[in-house]
Amino acid sequence: MSHSVVHRVAEISGQLAEAAAETEQAGKLSDKSVALIRDAGAMRMLQPTDFGGFAAHPRDFAEAVMAVSAACGSTGWVCGVGGVHPWEMALMDRRLQEEVWGANPDTWIASPYAPQGIATPTDGGYILKGRWSFSSGTDHCDWIFLGAIVGDADGMPVMPPQILHVVLPRADYTIVDDSWDVIGLCGTGSKDVIVDGAFIPAYRTIDSEEVSSGTLAADRAGRTETVYRLPFWAMFPLGITAAVIGIAEGALAAHLDYQRGRITAMGTAIKDDPYVLYAISEAASEIAASRAQLLDGISRLYDLADAGAPITFADRSVVRRNQVRCAWRAVAAVDEIFARSGGNAVRKGHVLQRFWRDAHVGLQHAIHIPGSIYHSDALTSMGIEPEGMLRALI
Residue 38, CA distances (Å) to 71, 108, 226 in order: 16, 10, 25
Q: Which of 66, 71, 389 is nearest to 238 (CA)?
A: 66
- Domains of the chain by range and CATH? 4-106 (1.10.540.10), 109-208 (2.40.110.10), 230-391 (1.20.140.10)
Pairing of strands 109-110, 143-150: parallel
The pLDDT value given to residue 225: 97
Summarize pLDDT for 333-366 with one digit per residue, the tens: 999 999 999 999 999 999 999 999 999 999 999 9
The stretch 255-262 carries a mean pLDDT of 95
Q: At what angle do helices 4-26 and 351-363 cross, to 10 degrees?
A: 100
The pLDDT value given to residue 274: 94
C-alpha 75 chain-centroid distance: 11
**How does DSSP assign 296-331, residue by residue?**
HHHHHHHHHHHTT----HHHHHHHHHHHHHHHHHHH
The pLDDT value given to residue 154: 83
**pTM above the 0.85 mark?**
yes
Q: Is the pLDDT of residue 265 over 90?
A: no
**How does DSSP assign 263-299, residue by residue?**
B-TTS-BGGG-HHHHHHHHHHHHHHHHHHHHHHHHHH
Q: How confident is the model at residue 1 (pLDDT cuts 50, 70, 90)?
A: confident
Indicate the DSSP class of residue 175: E
Indicate the average pLDDT of the chain. 97
Summarize pLDDT for 280-335 with one digit per residue, the tens: 999 999 999 999 999 999 999 999 999 999 999 999 999 999 999 999 999 999 99
The pLDDT value given to residue 140: 98
Contact 43, 106 (CB under 8 A): yes
Q: At what angle do helices 313-338 and 274-306 cross, to 10 degrees?
A: 160
Q: How confident is the model at residue 156 (pLDDT cuts 50, 70, 90)?
A: confident
The pLDDT value given to residue 155: 82
The pLDDT value given to residue 214: 84
Summarize pLDDT for 34-45 with one digit per residue, the tens: 999 999 999 999
